[in-house]
Amino acid sequence: MTDERKEFLKQHYLDGGFFNKKLGRFEYDPKFFSFDKYELEIDFEESMEQVELYSPNRQRAEIVKCANSFFYFCHKYVKILHPMRGLIPFVLFNYQRTVIKNYEKNRFNIISKFRQGGITTVSLLWGLWKCMFQNDQQIMLLSKTDREATDIGLIVDRACENLPSWLRPIKDAKWNDHLKMFTDTGSALKFYSPEAARGKSVTFLILDEAAFIVDMDKHWKAMWPILSTGGSCAVISTVNGTGNWYEETYHKAQEKGNRFNVIDLDYWEHPDYTEEWAEEQKSQLGERGFAQEVLREFLGSGETYFSRNIIVNLSEETKHNIPSRKLFPKWANTIGRVSQIESEHSEKGALWIWKEPREGREYIIGADAAEGQGENNDNSCFQVIDVNSLEQVAEFYSNTIVPHEFAQVLNQVGVFYNNALLVVENMGPGGAVISNLQHTLFYENLYYDSTGKAINPKPGIKMGMTNRPLYLETLQNRLINKTVRINSLRFVLELETFQYNKVRKRAEAQKGKHDDAILALCLALYTRDTLNRDIPLGSDGPKENLTMLNAQVYEEIKRELLEGKEDDLLAHANSIDYLAKDDEYNNEFLSKYRKKDKLLREFGW
């Protein structure tokens, strides 16, 4: 290889490449690059003039390779415009390859990316490749405005212009800024704003910077009927705060609450983006801008009540922390900004269990009740914590369950967790829940709040302006000192939008968001730390009074809670990761089945 050719490669290929003197060839750092079998055949010394003069047989062979490998097509033939180096071959980074492989495996993908990661480019070029080598493809890219959409379309024009003449697609007479028709395959690339795209057919939809598109929830509802018949979609965006369609869809996808596959991309996966680059970005964007556009953090309009470091760490710890069991799908949440894709794929259960009860252990359940009106209304939530380990072992979260049914679930779960102490907020719907627990279900271990009066204490706990800060302080201290173990992603998502409201002078959920999981855990932790052990028990009542309940609902709760216990235990026993977390706990628990527990037998279980 001549020195002139080496210099050309250094100037025209992206960073991460180097010339191997021993082997006499240009190579790439495997940390950032990898190649398929077709790419390994590429001759770096070959010029585009030589490629243009391929024989007809060689041309046919190259077309077959391109049709078989998108990566080969890009690596050898596609040119993109680099701001510093001009036109360069498009050699994909490993993270860009990961995106394409996810597109091939999943119909719906949602991407959280760092700025200037080239994801829109690689997605669009994948669309170009499909239009060139597959029949009847209708690829559409939507951006915030019509101008931005057509500007992105220039990537396709540039790529086609720099292909060898024998590979260049045959353009239809309709080829323009908005529509690029491919005569030989009958495929098309379309570039529009969301408003202009209505009614147009599509097989693959690219939503560019979806977090910044106004009324995206409305546009998505209009697009869904077209996609539902077999189309696919890639939602691409940098983060833009909370409360928008992109943020809600992304977080729902993390919970497996819709069809979208989540793809997270971090800046250090790009060879050019070093720590020095990050520091420069931070100085240009500021702390908040850097957190959103580079670190991909969802920030609300104000400062979060809990430290950003705490939230980021908990988010990382819980995002793959799938419960061992999910129960009660009948009370799984309906979703604000409902779309067909979400309603078809709701959560599997309102109750998430990470650890089953252990004999001899003590548990506390903090509960915050709501009316059960669905949609964007408050949730009835309870948190189950282990008094000794301070681990969150179960969580119930539903905006559809009504108070008398919530009381029945609390009763059954309380008994299940060794007759756990129930701490129920006694304002509003909580009063009805407590009344059911006390007078109909005769739950034996209700928390009583004396509020300074040793005589005639009241069941439940009050949450007002004076004691609410105390409850929150308990949780905050535990999170700062890492003395409570959080397992729930639902809980972490509430932390992200929990802020101090300067007008109301209190910490609360951002408008349109919720804090039910936070407050329920606050009640459990506060009670655990300040507990007066001389708590009066609820009065005993005859079992005949249970006929006052809806017997069918009551039996459904009991049956689902206990169903499939042995199977779940076997599943845990086969999980190396699960056993590694707490060998002592599992060895003890696996030898003792809860169905033999004396307390449960007394309740007829």
Give the pLDDT band of residue 17 (cuts 50, 70, 90): low
Average pLDDT, the chain: 81
Strands (E), 65-219: 79-82, 86-89, 108-112, 138-142, 179-182, 187-192, 204-208
What span, in angstroms and rounded, lies between the C-alpha atoms of 261 and 413?
Answer: 33
What span, in angstroms and rounded, lies between the C-alpha atoms of 48 and 46?
Answer: 7
Q: Are strands 448-449 and 392-398 parallel, antiparallel or unpaired?
A: unpaired
What per-residue confidence (pLDDT) applies to 334?
57
pLDDT surpasses 60 at 143: yes
Start-end of CATH 3.40.50.300 domains in the chain: 3-293
Q: Reduced to 3 states, what is the DSSP secondary structure of residue 495?
A: helix
pLDDT surpasses 80 at 595: no
The amino acid occupying position 125 is L
pLDDT surpasses 50 at 15: no
pLDDT surpasses 80 at 192: yes
> Minimum mean pLDDT among 82-91, 431-440, 470-479, 579-588: which range?
579-588
What span, in angstroms and rounded, lies between the C-alpha atoms of 72 and 63?
Answer: 10
What per-residue confidence (pLDDT) applies to 467?
85
The residue ranking higher by pLDDT, 287 or 543, is: 287
> Minimum mean pLDDT among 14-23, 188-197, 304-313, 394-403: which range?
14-23
User: 325-563: what CATH class?
Assistant: alpha beta
The predicted-structure confidence for 50-74, as pLDDT tens digits, reads as follows: 999 999 999 999 999 999 999 999 9
Which DSSP category does 437 fall into?
I
The predicted-structure confidence for 555-573, as pLDDT tens digits, reads as follows: 777 777 776 553 443 333 3
Q: Which of 9-18, 117-126, 497-506 has the highest mean pLDDT?
A: 117-126
What per-residue confidence (pLDDT) applies to 600?
44
What per-residue confidence (pLDDT) applies to 338?
28
Q: How many CA atoms lie within 13 A of 196 on its CB side?
A: 16
The residue ranking higher by pLDDT, 100 or 88, is: 100
The predicted-structure confidence for 384-417, as pLDDT tens digits, reads as follows: 999 999 999 999 999 999 999 999 999 999 999 9
Q: To which H or E segment does residue 155 belong? A: helix 146-161
CATH code, 3-293: 3.40.50.300
pLDDT surpasses 70 at 551: no
User: For the residues 256-268, what does the mean pLDDT come to?
Assistant: 92
> Minimum mean pLDDT among 42-46, 235-239, 382-386, 571-575: which range?
571-575
pLDDT surpasses 50 at 529: yes
What per-residue confidence (pLDDT) applies to 537?
38
What per-residue confidence (pLDDT) applies to 104?
95
Give the pLDDT band of residue 449 (cuts 50, 70, 90): confident
What per-residue confidence (pLDDT) applies to 332?
86
The residue ranking higher by pLDDT, 584 or 168, is: 168
Give the pLDDT band of residue 599 (cuts 50, 70, 90): very low
What per-residue confidence (pLDDT) applies to 572?
36
What per-residue confidence (pLDDT) applies to 303?
64
The predicted-structure confidence for 32-42, as pLDDT tens digits, reads as follows: 888 888 888 88
Q: Which long-range contacts (CB under 8 A, 24 or more apart) does 325-328 make?
A: 325/349, 325/351, 325/352, 325/353, 325/564, 325/568, 326/351, 326/352, 326/353, 327/351, 327/353, 327/560, 327/561, 328/396, 328/398, 328/409, 328/557, 328/560
Q: Please name the residues in contact with 142: beta carbons below 8 A apart, sequence gap of 6 or more.
A: 149, 192, 193, 194, 197, 205, 206, 207, 208, 213, 219
Share of the chain above pLDDT 70, in %: 80
Q: Are strands 380-386 and 86-89 parallel, antiparallel or unpaired?
A: unpaired
What per-residue confidence (pLDDT) applies to 320?
81
Start-end of CATH 3.30.420.240 domains in the chain: 325-563
- Residue of 231, 263, 522 lying closest to 368 (CA atoms): 522
What per-residue confidence (pLDDT) applies to 343?
38
Give the pLDDT band of residue 352 (cuts 50, 70, 90): very high
What per-residue confidence (pLDDT) applies to 578?
34
Give the pLDDT band of residue 27 (cuts 50, 70, 90): low
The residue ranking higher by pLDDT, 251 or 141, is: 141
What per-residue confidence (pLDDT) applies to 302?
58
pLDDT surpasses 90 at 120: yes
Give the pLDDT band of residue 497 (cuts 50, 70, 90): confident
- Residue of 518, 527, 366, 532 lying closest to 433 (CA atoms): 366
Q: Over the Cα atoms of the chain, what is R_g?
A: 29
pLDDT surpasses 70 at 215: yes
The residue ranking higher by pLDDT, 301 or 329, is: 329
What per-residue confidence (pLDDT) applies to 512?
79
